[in-house]
Amino acid sequence: MINASLKQLSQALAAKQISSVELTQLFLDRINRLNPALNAFVTVDTEKSLNSARAADARIAAGTAGLLTGIPIAQKDIFCAEGWRTTCGSKMLANFVSPYDATVIRKMEGEAGLVSLGKTNMDEFAMGSSNETSYFGPVRNPWDNGRVPGGSSGGSAAAVAARLAPAATGTDTGGSIRQPAALCNLTGLKPTYGVVSRYGMIAFASSLDQAGPMAASAEDCALLLNSMAGYDERDSTSLERPAEDYARDLDKPLAGLRIGLPKEFFGEGCDAEVMAAVRAAIAEYEKLGATTVEISLPNSHLSVPAYYVIAPAEASSNLSRFDGVRYGFRAEDYGNLDDMYMKSRAQGFGAEVKRRIMIGAYVLSHGYYDAYYLQAQRIRRLIANDFVEAFKVCDVIMGPTSPSTAFTLGEKAADPVQMYLSDIYTIAVNLAGLPGMSVPCGFAGGLPVGLQLIGNYFAEAQLLNVAHRYQQACDWHLRRPAGIE
Amino acid sequence: MNQWEVVIGIETHAQLATVSKIFSGASTAFGAEPNTQACAVDLALPGVLPVLNKKAVECAIRFGLAIGAEVAQKSVFARKNYFYPDLPKGYQISQMDLPVVVGGNITLQVGQGDKAYEKVVRLTRAHLEEDAGKSLHEDFHGKSGIDLNRAGTPLLEIVSEPDMRSSDEAVAYAKALHALVRWIGICDGNMQEGSFRCDANVSVRPKGQAEFGTRREIKNLNSFRFLKEAIDFEVQWQINEIEEGRKIQQATVLFDPDSGETRMMRSKEDAHDYRYFPDPDLLPLIISSDWINRVKGELPELPGQKRERFVNELGLSAYDAITLTASQEMADYFESTVAIAGKANAKPCANWVMVDLAARLNKEGKELVESPVSAAQLAGLIQRIADNTISNNIAKKVFEALWNGEGATADDVIEKQGLKQITDSGAIEALVDEVLAANPANVAEFKAGKEKAFNALVGQVMKAAKGKANPQQVNDLLRQKLAAG
């Protein structure tokens, strides 16, 4: 049961082979047993989870259940969930219990009937690529306990990889769903900006943040996205479009699919074994009837610098609300108001968050704004235009998700630039607002490798189709780390 | 003082009369228990997002149309970043580079009577923004309380060009603007509650000098009297400084109504770097011409249009027309009076409203809406003057009686108090004969060429008639008799 797909779980629940309470208890037991070594969850509340499971069982009994009702999932601790401690991986919110539900939570749990197993660990305020910036300590990669799971959705990735949960939510500002999915052998999808509501998702960089599913397969991701996506009047940047079934095209044949291979993603800077696995995956796609075309994303080398202006700029402002006045951490001893602000923020935020707040405040300050912030916005438009051009000659773009497999704990922690470069292939997708996926495509040195798929705007169903057909042809996504069962 | 020219520009914050806040659904009603009208968005809980209130935008459109400005097709909300406990997000959502209203002007009347002159003040812009909460420094034993009920209340910040040249002009501008925002129903204008507050930018320069002097900004003036007192003090202070050889430094100052002085709040060096940047949580505000046209159709007749009509259709002077359109209440009262008394009586109606009624209200410290004499009552009175039932002098008695509630209508008072004018020429002739016979000295003086003596005789006749004789008939008959005798 722990390795079952969401569809299988749904069928088992519908057939009353297992109740939601039993299923939930099964995963809670695994969390209880395995989480201490992994540190994937920061908050578990057995009673709350079981209450939700009971409610789901009642819906199933009453015949009002949806496809996902009663299935347990893990929620990244970036989503506000009523009555749940919501920390965003920070000391600043270590004791914050949300009085309201994020739209994602309301839709997934309130409407679809999914059962929350708890809140997963993450890089503090989603700032990091290794899950080492969390106030609650690093998360371990289930494939190798000495290695990072990636970040910032590292807790969600580790939880699903170790089957502490059938699936999880993540958020992706510069690669935070795709990179940990790649490093933990998961399928992860970052939708087009505006497809999933950001209301109640604690903001890192508002113009880049997007929530999405992390699961074992493309099919699971499609089903989860169906429960997450949709226009939300509470989020002005959410897109008013008709609801769609993201699973509708899963089985479409791939004959004639044009795969664009950006030469910039196949040059130097990527681990050779990773590259070999990616090339093998592309060869597999050719067997499935796809053709490849070399394309160019000429401004992609500017994506990391532009991102590290725009994201910190927005973050510096978004994180101003954490001031110790109304909720969250407040320093104990302070002299006056300014002292209270300074001490609370100095003690409440970790080093990486402070680094980005300072970068952000700097690039927005008088005299630097044009040279940094405006210039980065211009680059952002150029990068988006690169993709517009590329999609004139291809349907989907492929390349590596991450230039390396999971690195060891501490390896890049002292060198922010090295850490930032681990998102070199994913960041441009956020800057352009496009949908992107990571799909397991093999192993290098025994560690998972992710294939990145980038689609045109609103091409989620197509990306899921492209991933799903590949997963029908090979079984990389079914491999589990040793000792899971 | 005479060789100095004063230059004043005014920034006004008008609270918009919407039911809910500019970016949340919470109520804007004044006076509720602290923090009972602050929802998750107003409290800036983690994860919340702003959604623009269309009613606030409509207020801005109304204002733009009313001042003949350009309503921007596209305007952009920006974040103004600074820390203060009553600013929950750590930034205020405002508009910077692209405001919703650009240009326009307001015509005002400065001074009264013969010294009155008309002035056109140009407006630079008006933009939408949210208000902050309030810090309460009393009753908390050395701590401060924060009330966030006001946080998120919509404001229209209206910025004038530095077109005013005296505190009188500044007050006239503020009053005209105050009347206008109430007139078009976008602001209740309640200055005690802070619904309408002004900042005055004041500088002085030697007469004839083209460049402006260095300005100081007086913040938060919430009455017309304080506006005048603050500017007058500030002007004198600046002149003294310059005359004593010191330079004016750009600064923000506060006015202390108790001492009547302005004092420095912060110098230019301490000025915040607000790190403005476009708010990524809000899309650019797009206003279609259809929307503008719809709002245009809903606008009441504007003061300027009314003025023109009063001059063209009612034959009033420009001065009367401007005075009568100084507020919606006054214009309404005047128009109701004319509607009953008839257009032929427009001029006496104007005089009664502007002079007699205004003076009586002023004496009692009452507003026009509190007038004990209704427009219908006043119209009835004016009709009786017009048809010679009473003289102007008797009319003042009747007005006083109506004011004191001694009758329901002018006719009622005239009847009860026997004030009907004597127009029976036989009766008047008898009185004239009596007076001529009793005052031979005056008759002799008149015949010797002293015109004053005639007035004395008129007075005697009127006295004998208890003021009720028709003055014109008295005059005519007296002249007739004196000439004959």
Which residues of A make CB contacts under 8 Å with B?
79-80, 86, 88, 93, 96, 98-100, 102, 198-203, 205-207, 233-237, 313-314, 316-317, 319-323, 325-327, 337, 341, 361, 364-366, 369, 373
Contact between A198 and B283 using a beta-carbon 8 Å cutoff: no
Which residues on A lie below 8 Å from B276 (Cβ)?
364
Distance (Å) from the alpha carbon of A117 to chain B's nearest alpha carbon: 21
Question: Scanning every residue of chain A, which has its alpha carbon at the shortest distance from the alpha carbon of B79?
Answer: A317
CA angle B211, B215, B218 (to 5 degrees): 150
Instruction: Tell me the pairing of strands B154-160 and B145-147.
Output: unpaired
For residue A342, pLDDT beyond 90: yes
Is B81 in contact with A198 (Cβ distance < 8 A)? no
For chain A, percent of residues with pLDDT exceeding 70: 100
Among B45, B88, B281, select the one facing A236 at the smallest CB separation: B281
Nearest CA in chain B to A102: B47
**Residue B266 confidence (pLDDT):** 86
ipTM above 0.90, yes or no: yes
Neighbours of B209 (CB within 10 A): 11
- Which residues, 6+ apart, have CB-to-CB distance to B248 below 8 Å? B203, B213, B214, B215, B216, B238, B241, B242
For A88, the closest of B46, B81, B280 (CB atoms) is B46
Say whether B88 and A325 touch across the interface (CB within 8 A): yes
Distance from CA of A329 to the nearest CA of B (A): 13
Do B51 and A373 lie within an 8 Å CB cutoff?
A: no
Indicate which residue of A20, A49, A130, A152 is catalytic: A152
The nearest alpha carbon in chain B to A99 belongs to: B40
- Residue partners of B428: CB distance under 8 A and separation at least 6: B422, B461, B465, B469, B470, B473, B474, B477
Beta pairing, strands A115-120 & A41-43: antiparallel
Strand, coil or helix: A361 = helix
Between the two ends of chain A, the Cα-to-Cα distance in Å is 11
How far apart CA A377 and CA A445 sit, in angstroms, is: 39
B485, pLDDT greater than 80: no
**Confidence tier at B203 by pLDDT (50, 70, 90):** very high
Chain B residues touching residue A201 (CB < 8 angstroms)? 47
pLDDT of B1 above 70 = no
**Tokens at residue A323, please?**
């001031």
Residues of chain A positioned with their CB less than 8 A from the CB of B46: 80, 86, 88, 93, 96, 98, 202, 321-322
Instruction: Please report where in the chains the tokens 């399928």 appear, as a residue.
Output: A187
CA triple B69-A374-A434, angle to 5 deg: 100
Which DSSP state fits A147?
B
Considering the segment(s) A6-256 as one domain, its CATH architecture is Alpha-Beta Complex (3.90)
- Pick the closest to residue A402 from A383, A426, A433, A428 (CA basis): A426
In b/e form, how buried is each residue of B56-79, taking b as 16+ CB within 10 angstroms?
A: bbbbbbbbbbbbebebbeebbbbb
The CA R_g of chain A, rounded to the nearest whole Å, is 21
Token reading at B320: 């009367």
Residue A254 pairs in a beta bridge with none
Are B38 and B202 in contact, with CB atoms under 8 Å apart?
no
pLDDT for A106: 98
Question: Which chain A residues are Cβ-neighbours of B51 within 8 angstroms?
Answer: 233-236
Do A316 and B275 lie within an 8 Å CB cutoff? yes
Indicate the CATH number for domain B425-484: 1.10.10.410
Q: Work out the percent of chain B whose per-residue pLDDT is above 90.
A: 74
pLDDT averaged over every residue in chain B: 93
Residue A76 falls in the annotated catalytic set: yes
For residue B203, give how far its alpha carbon lies from the nearest alpha carbon of chain A (Å): 25
List of chain A residues whose C-beta atoms are within 8 Å of the C-beta of residue B283: 236-237
According to DSSP, residue B102 is labeled E
C-beta contacts of A344-350 below 8 A and 24+ residues apart: A347/A91, A348/A90, A348/A91, A348/A92, A348/A322, A348/A324, A349/A90, A349/A91, A349/A92, A349/A124, A349/A319, A349/A322, A350/A90, A350/A91, A350/A124, A350/A133, A350/A135
Q: Do A326 and B146 touch (CB under 8 A)?
A: yes
HEC secondary structure over A96-113: CECCCCCHHHHHHHHHCC
Q: CA–CA separation, A397 vs A391, rounded Å? A: 8
Q: Of the listed A52, A76, A156, A238, which one is catalytic?
A: A76
Give the pairing of strands A291-295 and A258-262: parallel
Task: Determine phi and psi for B351, rounding to 5 degrees.
Answer: -60, -45
Element housing B398 (H / E): helix B392-403
- Distance of alpha carbon A456 from alpha carbon A467, whole angstroms: 15
Question: Distance between CA atoms of A200 and B329, rounded to whole angstroms?
Answer: 47
For residues A369 and A377, give the distance between their C-alpha atoms in angstroms, rounded to a whole number.
11
Q: Across the interface, do A102 and B88 touch by the CB < 8 Å criterion? A: no
Answer yes or no: do A365 and B283 touch at CB < 8 A: no
Q: Nearest chain B residue to A206 by CA: give it.
A: B280
- Secondary structure class of A443 (helix, strand, coil): strand
Between the alpha carbon of residue A249 and those of residues A226, B264, B392, the distances in Å are 13, 68, 91
Residue B236: its pLDDT value, please?
Answer: 96
From chain A, the residues in CB contact with B90 under 8 A are 317, 319-321, 323
What's the full length of chain B, in residues? Answer: 485
Catalytic residue among A176, A197, A238, A303: A176
Q: What is the pLDDT of residues B341-374, one digit of tens each?
A: 999 999 999 999 999 999 999 999 999 999 999 9
* Dist CA A207 CA A431 (whole Å): 8
E strands, A159-314, are: 167-171, 187-190, 211-215, 258-262, 291-295
pLDDT reading at B229 higher than 80: yes
Sequence-distant (≥ 6) Cβ neighbours of residue B483 within 8 angstroms: none
- Give the integer Cα–Cα distance in Å for A474 and A476: 6
| A321-352 residues labelled b (16+ CB within 10 A) or e (exposed) | bbbbbbbbbbbeeeeebeebbbbbbeebbbeb
pLDDT tier, B452 (very low <50, low <70, confident <90, very high otherwise)? confident
CB–CB contact B49 A366 (8 Å): no
Q: Active site includes A49?
A: no
Instruction: Give mean pLDDT, residues A332-350.
Output: 96
Q: Where are the domains of chain B?
A: 4-292, 301-417, 425-484
A52 part of the active site: no
Q: Is the pLDDT of residue B123 over 60?
A: yes
| Chosen from B49, B80, B83 to mutate, greatest number of chain A CBs within 10 A | B49
The answer, yes or no, to whether residue B166 has pLDDT greater than 90, is yes
pLDDT-based confidence at residue B448 (cuts at 50, 70, 90): confident
* Among the ranges given (A197-201, B267-271, B299-303, B356-360), the one the predictor scored with the smallest mean pLDDT: B267-271
Average pLDDT estimate for A389-405 = 98
pLDDT digits (tens, 9 = 90+) for B296-326: 999 999 998 999 999 999 999 988 998 899 8
Confidence at residue A485, expressed as pLDDT on a 0 to 100 scale? 64
Residues A200, B43: C-beta atoms closer than 8 Å:
no
How far is A232 from A106, CA to CA, in rounded Å?
A: 11
Q: Which residues are bridge partners to B180 per DSSP?
A: none
Q: pLDDT band at A483, cuts 50/70/90?
A: confident
CA angle B220, B222, B226 (to 5 degrees): 95
* Residue A214 confidence (pLDDT) above 90: yes
How many CB atoms lie under 10 A from the CB of residue B181? 26
By three-state DSSP, how is residue A188 classified? strand
Quick one: chain B helix, strand, coil %, rounded to 5?
40, 20, 35
Q: Render pLDDT for B31-69 as a digit per residue (tens, 0 to 9).
A: 899 999 999 999 999 999 999 999 999 999 999 999 999
Dist. CA B321–CA B313, nearest whole Å:
11
Instruction: Tell me which chain A residues have a C-beta less than 8 angstroms from the C-beta of B273.
Output: 365-366
> Could you tell me which residues of chain B have a Cβ less than 8 Å from any Cβ in chain A?
40, 43-52, 79, 81, 83, 85, 88-91, 146, 273, 275-277, 280-283
Spatial distance between the Cα atoms of B138 and A328, rounded to a whole number of angstroms: 25
CA A54 to chain centre: 28
